[in-house]
Amino acid sequence: MNQLHEYAPFVKRHIGPSETEQKQMLNALGVDSLQALMAQVVPEQIRMTTSLDLPEPLDEPAMLAHMQQLADRNQVFRHYIGQGYYGTHMPNVVLRNVLENPAWYTAYTPYQAEISQGRLEAILNFQTMVAELTGMEIANASLLDEATACAEGMGMAWRMTGQKRSTFLVSEHCHPQTIEVLRTRAKGLGITLVVADDAQLMQADVDCFGVLLQYPHSLGRVCDDRALVESLKARDIAVVCATDLLALNLLTPPGHWGVDIVVGSAQRFGVPLGYGGPHAAFMACRDAHKRHMPGRLVGVSRDATGAPALRLALQTREQHIRREKATSNICTAQVLLAVLAGLYAVWHGPQGLKAIATRVHAFTARLHHALTSLGFEVVNSSYFDTLHIHTGEQTERLRALALKQGINLRYVDAAHVAISLDETVTQADWTQLCALFETLANTQAKQSGDTLDSAIPVALRREGAALTHPIFERICSETDMLRYLRRLADMDLALDRTMIPLGSCTMKLNATVEMIPITWPQFANIHPFAPAEQVQGYAALIEGLSRDLCEITGYDAISLQPNSGAQGEYAGLLAIRAFHEANGQSERNICLIPSSAHGTNPASAHMVGMDVMVVQADAQGNVDVEDLKRCIERADERLGALMITYPSTHGVFEQSIDTICALIHDAGGQVYLDGANMNAMVGLARPGKFGADVSHLNLHKTFCIPHGGGGPGIGPVAVRAHLAPYLPGVVSEQGWCQKSQAVGPVSAAPFGSASILPISYAYIRLMGAQGLRSASEIAVLNANYLAARLGEHYPVLYTGQSGRVAHECILDIRPIKAQTGIDAQDVAKRLMDFGFHAPTMSFPVPDTLMVEPTESENLAELERFIEAMVTIRQEIRAVEAGEVSLEDSIVRQAPHTASMLLTSEWTRPYSREEAAFPVASLRANKYWPPVARIDNAWGDRNLICTCPPLQDDFEEIRS
């Protein structure tokens, strides 16, 4: 019998072009073989001569069987640990139609708003939900996790108060992992962090610019901090409050007592524990502070016809525009998870959420009653869902009993435990939990009726409905929900409909087989602070993936903790800082960054307290080595690092990379190589071997984790041995950082977004060494084919020495703009009429399009794209020839909606057919953009970032 991998090897499913197509493309390029093409593209001095040492590839059934074996080594316990992570039920209709639906998970960040209206609406629901529950005016579209949201809150408080004072107080009642992540972040920014008790908070002195409170406390108490907040505000101290969205259904929101910033995790709104992530964190603030807010923000604007339309608002705050002056380095966030949490609220509605919260609270109150009747002291008399219990000398016995029954509690110290209840707790769970304590007490607990008083202080009980927007009342039946989800998905273009040729973003296949294991309970229902013995499967997976990634990159050690590429940059730069410090060279704090760098690079350098010095590019787009030498000289003893992207954001393998690395090392600096473009290099060259000291990878680019419409992501940071001691510290089982580590944790969970690691693990094991190398080669082949074919119509801005590009190419629109006024944005919008998502626009060079086809697109799809681009070039000629004005041109008017075209009158200089069906194939397969071109500036001037009223939607917006 044939093995499946013989007649259908996975690699053939992953790679788009067939062997015949590959030959055809090579012929078109005038090259004999892939090897010959690689010889032209990858500089000889860095090219690998051996094959990667990776396990033999598995076929799909074998892969799933292997994943099942790993999964079975994880033990799914009943978790009452809490501490920011709670059991929850994802609504099944959402599980199947969103989390398991490529229309949602393969979408890109909604920069091209016209083709992203569905997910923008879902994010707007999330923002509205957060704003209403927290009682704040404006909420963003998600942050990476609760602890980093607290750190962002600290940074924002600092900016809001003018960066003149330097002490930040964090309440001792915050989650332990939050405090550790704050410590890491504060050190980089030069902020003095003080863990404060209630009295110290009250006495915050003149150097204090902000405080962080937790509500309810990590150990459960619901504390009335209104007087404290009032007193802090009177002293112009910014107040950040971390809170719990479920509790806020019953509690007065912090927004009502004057805090400036509210943060937290939306995990318990339907997103599985996942051994720590991914989950969406949220941040809400007062309207007055919105320009200081980090992360993305969805807002309402209008399109060219005056119809309401959504898009990202206030983008000038972001790193891709403000670079080191940006409000943060957040690029990839947690959009898919925010969508899931927002939909959870839409599904349950205000009554449903309140009922869930009330039930959780009632179970907790009954547990409190039972435990007290058994003689246990419950330390907190007020609570929502968490009890802090004195168990004295019985603690170890309790632990043993609980473990035997498959139960995890939070062991606070030798004499105390904490128990957090959640949505998933059943009567049977409750009885089992209670029985543990009955065994300890050797007696029966007193049963209580169902009418126990609330343990929420009267003054803190929420009055009225927490969610008031009609969107949360509109969905009643599953039929409603199913159609709502379908309607939203249909508005968007994701990889399930078209190639998304976004340069630098590597939108490649996210294979179904890679996705399947992530929702298995043995991966999904594990608490991040579960004891190590219970997570042997995860441990094996993490070890295997770490080993594979080290082999692929040529580095010696890796941390999978960072939740995005930018967080990986941050972690890598922290390692460099700590290394210099350990060598007694803490003055080495200048980071050289080429002018073409991604905006997150300077923003991350800034976050670790480095000063950025820009290195110029030469006429070929390469790092100008002469300028680099001048910069090295100027930085002198303060040279800390060079941060360089390779192959470069200009889409070429620079020949002099080894010289560049040597120059930096000779001057005492370290080389940070941004690994976002690793898709051009896997199996061909290894940064850890050709001169770099540290890199981050984007598992959501090169290693197949889907983009999810703007996250999740994983940005592992890989280092050579000398930097290994400075990888992010791990918050261990009970949340306390191992103090010996030089660098603290960068995110809340020990392994960041652990539950999506199986995707990258599976990809590598399905492809094997040969397959991965082929993927890189075909990515380069596809890019060069596009460059060759499109180069006749749009100049390719940069090529390497041999006239070839790497895995992406930059098409220059500037000559067209100079002649006609038509710019990159016009081309991007016109592509929507062809059913395409635009390439990356105006990065790294203004008015260019950066095209990255990836290895997953076949020749037919490349041809479809070429046809669209060539047709657009022809359309532009009408403007060039003076036949139509710029404003009236088909390109400037794009995209065209059905309602723009299906009118009885038509006065434009082109036909309706040309607008909708510029190429014949569209007649059979047409995507209709749901809105016309969106007016970004109008939306920023009239900022609305929550759902507008449903009826007569936006009448005033039209005016």
Ligand X SMILES: *Cc1c(COP(=O)(O)O)cnc(C)c1O
Positions that interact with ligand X (CB under 6 A)? 331-332, 504, 564-566, 598, 600, 645, 649, 674, 676, 698, 713, 715
Cα distance between residue 728 and residue 807, in whole Å: 31
- Pick the closer one to ligand X by CB: 388 or 598: 598
Q: How far apart are CB 698 and ligand X at their closest, in Å? A: 5
- Smallest gap from residue 640 Cβ to ligand X (A): 19
CA distance 757 to 753: 7
Neighbours of 609 (CB within 10 A): 17
Closer to ligand X by Cβ: residue 300 or 676 = 676
Q: Determine the Cα–Cα distance for residues 386 and 81; give it in Å rounded to an integer.
A: 9
Helix (H, G, I), strand (E, B) or coil at 591: strand
Shortest distance, position 711 Cβ to ligand X, whole Å: 8
Q: At its nearest, how many Å lie between ligand X and the CB of residue 609?
A: 20
In the complex with ligand X, which residue's Cβ is closer, 176 or 675? 675
Name which of 117, 106, 17, 831 is nearest 507 in CA terms.
106
3-state secondary structure of 441: helix
The whole-angstrom distance between residue 402's C-alpha and the CA centroid of its chain comes to 36
CB of 332 to ligand X, least distance (A): 3
Residue (389 or 657) nearer to ligand X, CB:
657
Q: How far apart are CA 420 and CA 4, in angstroms?
A: 47
Residue 294 CB neighbours (<10 A): 26
Q: How many CB atoms lie within 10 A of CB 392?
A: 13
What is the number of the residue whose Cβ is closest to ligand X? Answer: 565
User: What is the end-to-end Cα distance of the chain in Å, rounded?
Assistant: 70
Least distance from C-beta 520 to ligand X, angstroms?
Answer: 25
Indicate the residue among 167 and 600 with the shorter CB distance to ligand X: 600
* Length reported for the chain: 959
Q: How far apart are CB 715 and ligand X at their closest, in Å? A: 5
Q: H-type helices in 591-724, by residue range?
A: 600-607, 625-635, 657-666
Residue with Cβ nearer ligand X (128 or 564)? 564
Nearer to ligand X, 173 or 598 (CB): 598
Concatenating the DSSP letter of every residue in 156-219 gives HHHHHTTT---EEEEETTS-HHHHHHHHHHHHHHTPEEEEE-HHHHHT--TTEEEEEEEES-TT
Q: How far is the CB of 910 from ligand X (least distance, A)?
A: 36
Closest approach of Cβ 277 to ligand X, in Å?
14
The residue (of 246 and 849) whose beta carbon lies closer to ligand X is 849
Packed helices 19-29 and 34-41: angle between N→C axes, nearest 10 degrees: 50
Nearest-approach distance from CB 658 to ligand X, in angstroms: 20
**Helix ranges, 316-425 (H):** 319-322, 335-373, 395-404
User: What gap in Å lies between CA 529 and CA 673, rounded to an integer?
Assistant: 32
Q: Which is nearer to ligand X, 82 or 844 (CB)?
A: 844
Looking at beta carbons only, is 201 or 850 nearer to ligand X? 850
Q: Among 713, 820, 47, which Cα is nearest to 335's?
A: 713
CB of 697 to ligand X, least distance (A): 10
* Two structure tokens written together for 186: 């504060």
CB count within 10 Å of CB 318 equals 23
C-beta of 108 vs 126, nearer to ligand X? 108
CA distance 571 to 564: 11
